[in-house]
C-alpha cells in the first residue's frame, strides 16, 4: 500500500519551521449513524471496561491516520464524550461512536484542539491542516450480533452490545481541513501526522525506482546480505523446514525462495542528503497454513554508493520512515498503518488494533 502523492504539496526542507496559526472554534462533531438509546439488557456475561491508556509523553509527536482522520490518541477516556451513542452501519462487526466535548479533554491535549498539524505521505510530501470535530471511535469486527444460542440479538441486546464495544473505544479521531494558499479548506491525504508547533522531524520519502535500477539494487543487496547472521539463520531455518516435510516436491530451492521474496525499497531524506535501503526477506507464509513463515528485516545506509548495515532490524512493509526527534533512531509506519514506532529499539509511538473475533464456533 502506497499513500497517494499529495496534490499541490511541496516537500519542505526538514528544518523549515511551520508557522503558527490562531486557534479556530471547534465545530460540533456529527458521527455517522443513527442515535441509539434505551434499556441495556444483554444475555452475555457482564462486561468489565478497560482503563484508558496513559497519554504519551509528547501528545501529537507522531499520529497515525484512520479512514482519513487523525488518530489523536489511542484507548481514550470515554468520559471525554458527550451526547448520544451512534452506530454507523458495518457489514461484519459493530461500530459505536460519540462526539467529544473539548472542554473535557486533559490539558495535555489542548494543542490539538483546532490546532495545526502537518500530514505526511509515503513519498515525503506534506501539507498543513487544522484539526476539527473530534469523535471517540470504537469498533470490533466479527460475527458479534448473535446470542449464546445463535439467535440474532434483539434491540435491547444490540444496544447493550454497542455500549460494551464503546466502553473499549480504541481511537480519539479528529477531522482535519487542509490550509491552502487560496484559503480553501480540503482534507490532506497521508499516512501519519505531527503537531506543527513541535520541532520538524527528519522525513524520508520512498523513491520509486525504474525496473533496471531496482534490479541492480537487488543484486547489490543480495551480495551484501549473503553472509550476514540474520540471513544465515534464515537459510538454516528454511533448510530445517524443508527437511521436516514428507516430500520436497514442488518446493523452491533456497536461492529461488530468497530471490522471489526479496523486497528492497529506497528512502531519501526530504531536504537532506541521507538515503536508506530497507530490506525484507521472506514472504511471511499464509494464515491457517503450514508454509514457511520466517522473515528477516534489515536496514542499510547508502553511503557513497555502498551499503552500510544499520544497528537493529529494518521495517516490515513500511508506509513511511522518519526520525521524529532527530536523534538518529528511525521510526516507521508499519502494520498496514496501525503502528508507528522504531524497529531498532522496539519503541512504540502510537499503535492501535481493531479486534477481530471471527465467527461463532
Same domain, yes or no: 176 and 259: no
In a domain, 354, yes or no: no
Q: What is the pLDDT of residue 67?
A: 94
Same domain, yes or no: 144 and 211: no
Same domain, yes or no: 151 and 187: yes
Same domain, yes or no: 126 and 193: yes
Give backbone dihedrals phi and psi of 112, rounded to 5 degrees, phi first.
-100, 5
CA 28 to chain centroid: 27
The answer to whether the beta carbons of residues 241 and 53 sit under 8 Å apart is: no
Same domain, yes or no: 290 and 186: no
Residue 133: CB atoms within 10 Å = 19
Residue ending a domain, choose from 160, 180, 200: 200
Same domain, yes or no: 227 and 151: no
Residues 326-349 have pLDDT tens digits of 999 999 999 999 999 998 778 999
Residues 114-152 have pLDDT tens digits of 999 999 999 999 999 999 999 999 999 988 888 878 888
Domain of residue 254, residue span: 206-323
Residue ending a domain, choose from 180, 200, 220: 200
| Integer Cα distance of 165 and 199 in angstroms | 37
In a domain, 4, yes or no: no
3-state DSSP call for residue 220? Answer: helix
Same domain, yes or no: 171 and 237: no
Same domain, yes or no: 262 and 310: yes
Task: Count the domains in the chain.
Answer: 2
The residue with greater pLDDT, 107 or 361, is 107
Same domain, yes or no: 42 and 170: yes
Q: What is the pTM of this model?
A: 0.83
Residue ending a domain, choose from 200, 224, 259: 200
| Integer Cα distance of 231 and 225 in angstroms | 7
Alpha helices (H) along the chain: 155-167, 211-225, 229-243, 254-260
Same domain, yes or no: 271 and 143: no
Same domain, yes or no: 83 and 108: yes
In a domain, 124, yes or no: yes
In a domain, 19, yes or no: no
Same domain, yes or no: 182 and 215: no
Q: 178 falls in which pLDDT band (50, 70, 90)?
A: confident
Place of cell 531524506: 269
In a domain, 270, yes or no: yes
Amino acid at each position: 500500500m502506497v499513500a497517494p502523492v499529495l496534490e499541490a504539496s511541496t516537500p519542505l526542507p526538514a528544518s523549515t519551521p511551520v508557522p503558527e496559526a490562531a486557534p479556530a472554534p471547534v465545530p460540533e462533531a456529527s458521527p455517522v449513524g443513527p442515535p441509539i438509546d434505551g434499556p441495556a439488557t444483554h444475555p452475555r456475561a457482564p462486561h468489565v471496561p478497560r482503563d484508558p491508556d496513559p497519554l504519551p509523553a509528547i501528545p501529537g509527536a507522531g499520529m497515525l491516520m484512520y479512514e482519513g482522520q487523525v488518530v489523536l490518541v489511542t484507548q481514550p477516556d470515554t468520559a471525554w464524550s458527550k451526547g448520544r451513542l451512534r452506530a454507523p452501519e458495518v457489514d461484519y462487526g459493530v461500530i459505536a461512536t460519540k462526539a467529544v466535548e473539548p472542554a473535557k479533554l486533559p490539558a495535555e491535549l489542548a494543542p490539538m484542539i483546532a490546532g495545526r498539524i502537518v500530514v505526511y505521505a509515503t513519498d515525503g510530501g506534506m501539507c498543513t491542516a487544522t484539526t476539527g470535530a473530534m469523535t471517540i471511535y470504537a469498533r470490533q469486527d466479527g460475527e458479534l450480533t448473535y446470542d449464546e444460542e445463535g439467535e440474532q440479538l434483539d434491540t435491547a441486546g444490540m444496544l447493550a452490545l454497542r455500549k460494551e464495544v464503546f466502553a473499549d473505544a480504541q481511537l480519539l479521531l479528529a477531522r482535519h481541513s487542509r490550509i491552502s494558499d487560496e484559503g480553501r479548506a480540503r482534507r490532506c491525504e497521508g499516512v501519519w501526522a505531527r503537531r506543527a508547533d513541535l520541532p520538524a522531524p527528519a522525513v524520508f520519502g520512498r523513491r520509486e525506482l525504474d525496473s533496471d535500477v531496482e534490479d541492480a539494487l537487488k543484486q547489490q543487496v543480495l551480495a551484501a546480505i549473503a553472509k550476514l547472521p540474520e540471513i544465515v539463520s534464515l537459510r538454516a531455518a528454511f533448510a530445517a523446514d524443508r527437511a521436516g516435510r514428507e516430500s520436497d516436491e514442488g518446493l523452491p530451492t533456497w536461492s529461488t525462495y530468497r530471490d522471489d521474496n526479496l523486497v528492497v525499497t529506497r528512502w531519501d531524506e526530504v531536504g537532506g542528503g541521507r538515503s536508506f535501503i530497507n530490506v525484507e526477506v521472506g514472504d511471511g507464509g499464509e494464515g491457517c497454513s503450514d508454509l514457511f513463515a520466517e522473515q528477516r528485516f534489515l536496514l542499510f545506509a547508502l553511503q557513497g554508493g555502498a551499503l552500510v548495515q544499520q544497528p537493529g532490524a529494518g521495517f516490515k512493509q513500511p508506509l513511511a520512515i522518519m526520525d521524529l526527534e532527530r536523534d538518529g533512531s528511525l521510526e516507521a509506519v508499519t502494520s498496514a498503518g496501525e503502528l508507528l514506532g522504531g524497529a531498532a529499539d522496539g519503541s512504540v509511538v502510537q499503535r492501535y488494533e481493531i479486534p477481530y473475533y471471527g465467527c461463532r464456533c
